[in-house]
Amino acid sequence: MQTTIKTAISFSGAGLHSGQPATVTIRPASAHHGIWFSRSDVHVGDRLIPARWDAVNRSPLCTKLENASGLSVSTVEHLMAALAGCGIHNALIEIDGGEVPILDGSAAPFVRGIMQRGVRALAAPVRVFEVLKSVTVTDGDASATIAPSHTMVIDFEIDFVDAAIGRQKKTLVMNNGSFARELCDSRTFCRQADVLSMQANGLALGGNPGENAVVFDGDKVLSPGGLRHADEPVRHKMLDALGDLALAGAPLIGHYTGVRAGHSLTNTLLRALFATPGAVRMVECDMEMSARLPGYGLVWDEIPAVA
């Protein structure tokens, strides 16, 4: 069955890139509504923005959605990952600013909030996109692939010159609450040189190492408290990938492989998938297929305590 959140919940904080405060409120929605953002601070014109791949204004730093009128909301990936990881198919997300709060830099606060409110089943079957053909996109030494699979799988590899990150690789089957257990508490990360460069250019103004990002400098982890996982960077890249793939407009059944991939390349992959004849089809889930979707079977005790 399709789902929504039982009652509304709000989160407040600064945006990572803009530094501007905002409050985001997730509200219940009816079956077949999908996920939409609404800019509550805008009072003239179209303030609704679809959480969908063809509304993405591609950026290397975050995922930014924009409607036909040019109204936008950015850094949606962690919230979208939390909704997908909790199995939420329908929601209206009101926000009174242009960027989703970064909170602790992970999706765990969103996951905990959603699960505190609870998930409500709706009287409509879940529709999913089933991948039928492999599709690959590349950008230099980065690549992203989506291939047929029995369930949703994310496979990711990163390679950084910083010794504290280095080469990391992880594969995870995204069902039975695995997102909450394995990925949701992994924070966004960056290199100290990149932080200084972004701040000099008016970006990353809301970042605070130790609170909402992990900062690396060579072989050092500068953030107080260190890492939540030895391979936290690759886990966070997988979290981002799930959030970006959730913009398909319905759950995806496929095997995603990212090699040094970022937000822009994952969106390019979705565009290529839907542009390739016979590569994907929408199907109505039976109970057996529904049990293989992210979020199915998630229970409170599986959510990391760091949130």
Rounded to whole angstroms, the Cα distance separating 73 from 167 reads 32
Domains of the chain: 3-302 (3.30.1700.10)
Q: pLDDT of 214-229, one tens digit each?
A: 989 888 998 888 899 9
What pLDDT sits at residue 183? Answer: 96
Q: Specify whether 263 is catalytic.
A: yes
What pLDDT sits at residue 176? Answer: 82
H-helix segments, 145-205: 178, 192-200
What pLDDT sits at residue 307? Answer: 42
CA distances from 10 to 82, 96, 116, 165 (A): 14, 11, 12, 34
Backbone phi and psi for residue 104, each to the nearest 5 degrees, phi listed first: -95, 10
For residues 210 and 95, the model is more confident at: 95
Q: pLDDT of 13-48, one tens digit each?
A: 999 888 899 999 999 999 999 999 999 999 999 999
CA 135 vs. chain centroid, Å, equals 21
Residue 176 is which amino acid?
N
The mean per-residue pLDDT over the stretch 86-91 comes to 96
**How buried is 65 (Cβ within 10 angstroms: 0-12 exposed, 13-18 middle, 19+ buried)?**
buried
CA distances from 225 to 108, 117, 193, 229 (A): 17, 30, 20, 11
Q: pLDDT of 233-269, one tens digit each?
A: 999 999 999 999 999 999 999 999 999 999 999 999 9
Exactly one of 17, 78, 255, 263 is catalytic; which is it? 263
Rounded to whole angstroms, the Cα distance separating 63 from 302 reads 27
Rounded to whole angstroms, the Cα distance separating 3 from 19 reads 33
Q: What is the DSSP string of 50-87?
A: E-SGGGB---SSS-EEE-TTS-EEE--HHHHHHHHHTT
What pLDDT sits at residue 204? Answer: 59
Rounded to whole angstroms, the Cα distance separating 155 from 292 reads 17
What pLDDT sits at residue 60? Answer: 76
CB contact burial 122-158 (16+ within 10 A = b; e otherwise): beebbebbbbbeebebeeeeebbbbbebebbbbbbbb
**How buried is 300 (Cβ within 10 angstroms: 0-12 exposed, 13-18 middle, 19+ buried)?**
exposed
- Percentage of residues of the chain with pLDDT beyond 70: 95
CA 6 vs. chain centroid, Å, equals 21
What pLDDT sits at residue 192? Answer: 81
What pLDDT sits at residue 121? Answer: 93
Per-residue confidence band for 187, with pLDDT thresholds at 50, 70 and 90: very high
Three-state DSSP class for 275? helix
Q: What is the pTM of this model?
A: 0.94
